[in-house]
C-alpha cells in the first residue's frame, strides 16, 4: 500500500522512462544493503540442468545491459534474464517509447532493443562471474540488430551467442518483440529453423530457449514446439508482449490510442499467455522446460502458471507497479507452491 501511494504521487507524474532510470539506479546502488535484509526461503528446483533457488525470476527488458544483477537478485528474484542484447550497440527507438496504462497496471513499450551491444555486455558479465561465480542464475536474451537485414539474421544472432554464451546460465533467442522491423517474421518455422540451428551449434551444451509471441495462432505455437524438440532446444518461453489492444482494457480508448504502437504487457496478457503455456505443455510433455511469462502480477498468477505447466515463472511489468517488496512476495508464493507440489507427488526437489 505504501508503494502504491508513492507510485501514484511520484512515479505516475514522471516520464515513465525517467522513472525507470531512477528506480534502476537505486537498485543498482542498493544491492549490498538489500542482500542483508531481503530473505526468501530456498525452494530449489533444477530446470534445464540449472539449479534455481526458486522458480520465480525477472523477465528480460528491465536490465538490458547487466548493470544491476546483484541488486535485482538481492530483492528476491531467483534468476535474472538480461537483455535483449544485440550484436551491435544501438540506441533504440526515439523517445517517448514507454507509456503506462495505470488503470490496467499495463505498459506499452516500443523501446527497440536499446542496449550497449554484445561485446560490452559480455565484458560486464565476465566481471560479474569473476566476482560472484557461476551459482547466480543469469540468463541472456539475444535479438536481431535493427540495421541488419532479416536475411542476415543468422550471423547476427550467432555473433551475440558467441560473445555472451560463455557467461550466461542459459541463452534465449528472442524472435517475438514487435519493436524491431521484420523480427516477428522469424517466428515462421522456415525462417526460425536456421537461426535456432546455428545458435544451438554455437552455444554447445549451454541451455538454449526460444521466446515466442502471444499473437501466434495455435498451430504456429505447436509448430515451434515441434521445431524446438527437433533441434534439441531446452526450453520455450511463453510469452512476449502483444500487439493487440484487447477490448477488456479499462483505460479509455483515447488513452490507448494515444499510447501508440508497441508491445502491450500487464495483467491483460495473462489469459492468452497461460493458454499458450498449456498448449505447449500438452504438446511437449516433459521433453522441454517451459517458462511462463506475460501478465504475471500476483501470487495467484504465479501459482496458476506453475499449475499450467511452467517450470519457471518470470515477470517484469508487475515489478513496476508492485515495488521493491513485490519480488520477494511472489518468490515466496512460487517456492511454497513448489514445496506443496513436491510433497504431493513425493518427488522431493522439483
Express each pLDDT in 135-148 by its tens digit: 999 999 999 999 99
Query: Which has the closest alpha carbon to 328: 92, 74, 23, 67?
Result: 74
- Could you tell me which residue, 343 or 130, shows the higher pLDDT? 130
Residue 346 has pLDDT above 60, yes or no: no
Whether residue 251 lies in the annotated active site: no
- Residue 332 DSSP SS3: helix
**237 φ/ψ angles, rounded to the nearest 5 degrees:** -105, 125
**Rounded to whole angstroms, how far apart are CA atoms 84 and 211?**
11
Please report the pLDDT score of residue 349 as a whole number.
39
Which whole number is the average pLDDT over 284-294?
98
- Sorted by sequence, the CB contacts under 8 Å of residue 212 that are 6+ apart come out as 175, 176, 187, 221, 224, 236, 237, 238, 239, 240, 276
Name the residue with cell 517475438: 176
- How is the chain split among helix, strand and coil, in percent rounded to 5? 50, 15, 35
pTM of the predicted model over 0.75: yes
Cβ distance 143 to 92 under 8 Å?
no
In the chain, where does DSSP find H-type helix?
Answer: 2-9, 16-37, 69-74, 118-132, 153-164, 189-203, 218-231, 253-259, 270-284, 299-307, 317-322, 326-345
Please report the pLDDT score of residue 348 as a whole number.
34
**Rounded to whole angstroms, how far apart are CA atoms 23 and 71?**
11
pLDDT category of residue 30 using cuts at 50, 70 and 90: confident
Q: Is 84 marked as a binding-site residue?
A: yes
Query: Which has the closest alpha carbon to 59: 333, 336, 302, 229?
Result: 302
Please report the pLDDT score of residue 350 as a whole number.
36
**215 φ/ψ angles, rounded to the nearest 5 degrees:** -85, -5
Q: Is 93 marked as a binding-site residue?
A: no
Distance of CA 235 to the CA centre of its chain: 13
pLDDT category of residue 11 using cuts at 50, 70 and 90: confident
Q: Which of 169, 177, 251, 297 is catalytic?
A: 177
Q: Is 62 marked as a binding-site residue?
A: yes
- Sorted by sequence, the CB contacts under 8 Å of residue 217 that are 6+ apart come out as none
Please report the pLDDT score of residue 339 as a whole number.
55
Which whole number is the average pLDDT over 202-223?
97
Q: Is 56 marked as a binding-site residue?
A: no
Mean model confidence pLDDT for the chain: 93
- How many Cβ atoms sit within 10 Å of the Cβ of residue 135? 9
**For the chain, what percent of residues have pLDDT higher than 90?**
86
Please report the pLDDT score of residue 8 as a whole number.
79
What domains lie within the chain, and their CATH numbers? Answer: 2-345 (3.20.20.70)
Which whole number is the average pLDDT over 181-191?
90
Please report the pLDDT score of residue 13 as a whole number.
78
Q: Is 198 marked as a binding-site residue?
A: no
Please report the pLDDT score of residue 182 as a whole number.
87
- Could you tell me which residue, 350 or 240, shows the higher pLDDT? 240
Q: Is 242 marked as a binding-site residue?
A: no
- Three-class secondary structure assignment of 51-63: EECCCEEECCCCC
Which whole number is the average pLDDT over 318-336?
95
Query: Which has the closest alpha carbon to 213: 249, 265, 169?
Result: 265
Please report the pLDDT score of residue 78 as a whole number.
97
Q: Is 285 marked as a binding-site residue?
A: no
Express each pLDDT in 85-107 by its tens digit: 999 999 999 999 999 999 999 99
**For the chain, what percent of residues have pLDDT higher than 70?**
94
Express each pLDDT in 45-78 by its tens digit: 999 999 999 999 999 999 999 999 999 999 999 9
Which whole number is the average pLDDT over 160-166?
98
Q: Is 295 marked as a binding-site residue?
A: yes
- Could you tell me which residue, 25 or 31, shows the higher pLDDT? 25
Q: Is 336 marked as a binding-site residue?
A: no
Q: Is 87 marked as a binding-site residue?
A: no
Residue 250 has pLDDT above 90, yes or no: yes
Amino acid at each position: 500500500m505504501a508503494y502504491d501511494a508513492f507510485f501514484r504521487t511520484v512515479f505516475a507524474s514522471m516520464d515513465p522512462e525517467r522513472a525507470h532510470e531512477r528506480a534502476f539506479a537505486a537498485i543498482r546502488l542498493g544491492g549490498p544493503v538489500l542482500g542483508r535484509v531481503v530473505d526468501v526461503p530456498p525452494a530449489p528446483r533444477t530446470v534445464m540442468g540449472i539449479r534455481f533457488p526458486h522458480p520465480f525470476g525477472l523477465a528480460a527488458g528491465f536490465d538490458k545491459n547487466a548493470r544491476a544483477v546483484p541488486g535485482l537478485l538481492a530483492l528476491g528474484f531467483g534468476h535474472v534474464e538480461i537483455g535483449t542484447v544485440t550484436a551491435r550497440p544501438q540506441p533504440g527507438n526515439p523517445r517517448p517509447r514507454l507509456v503506462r496504462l495505470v488503470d490496467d497496471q499495463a505498459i506499452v513499450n516500443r523501446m527497440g532493443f536499446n542496449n550497449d551491444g554484445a561485446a560490452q555486455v559480455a565484458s560486464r558479465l565476465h566481471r560479474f562471474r569473476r566476482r560472484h561465480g557461476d551459482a547466480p542464475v543469469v540468463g541472456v536474451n539475444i535479438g536481431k540488430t535493427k540495421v541488419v537485414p532479416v536475411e542476415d539474421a543468422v550471423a547476427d544472432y550467432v555473433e551475440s551467442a558467441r560473445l555472451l554464451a560463455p557467461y550466461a546460465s542459459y541463452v534465449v533467442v528472442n524472435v517475438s518483440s514487435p519493436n524491431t522491423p521484420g523480427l516477428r517474421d522469424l517466428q515462421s518455422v522456415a525462417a526460425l529453423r536456421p537461426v535456432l540451428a546455428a545458435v544451438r551449434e554455437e552455444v554447445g551444451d549451454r541451455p538454449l530457449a526460444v521466446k515466442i509471441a502471444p499473437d501466434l495462432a495455435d498451430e504456429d505455437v505447436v509448430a515451434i514446439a515441434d521445431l524446438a524438440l527437433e533441434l534439441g532446444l531446452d526450453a520455450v518461453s511463453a510469452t512476449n508482449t502483444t500487439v493487440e489492444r484487447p477490448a477488456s482494457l479499462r483505460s479509455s480508448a483515447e488513452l490507448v490510442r494515444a499510447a501508440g504502437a508497441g508491445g502491450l504487457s500487464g495483467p491483460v496478457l495473462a489469459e492468452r499467455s497461460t493458454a499458450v503455456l498449456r498448449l505447449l505443455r500438452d504438446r511437449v510433455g516433459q521433453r522441454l522446460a517451459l517458462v511462463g511469462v506475460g501478465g504475471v502480477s500476483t501470487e495467484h498468477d504465479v501459482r496458476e502458471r506453475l499449475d499450467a505447466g511452467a517450470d519457471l515463472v518470470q515477470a517484469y511489468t508487475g515489478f513496476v507497479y508492485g515495488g521493491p517488496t513485490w519480488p520477494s512476495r511472489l518468490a515466496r508464493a512460487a517456492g511454497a507452491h513448489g514445496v506443496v507440489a513436491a510433497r504431493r507427488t513425493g518427488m522431493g526437489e522439483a
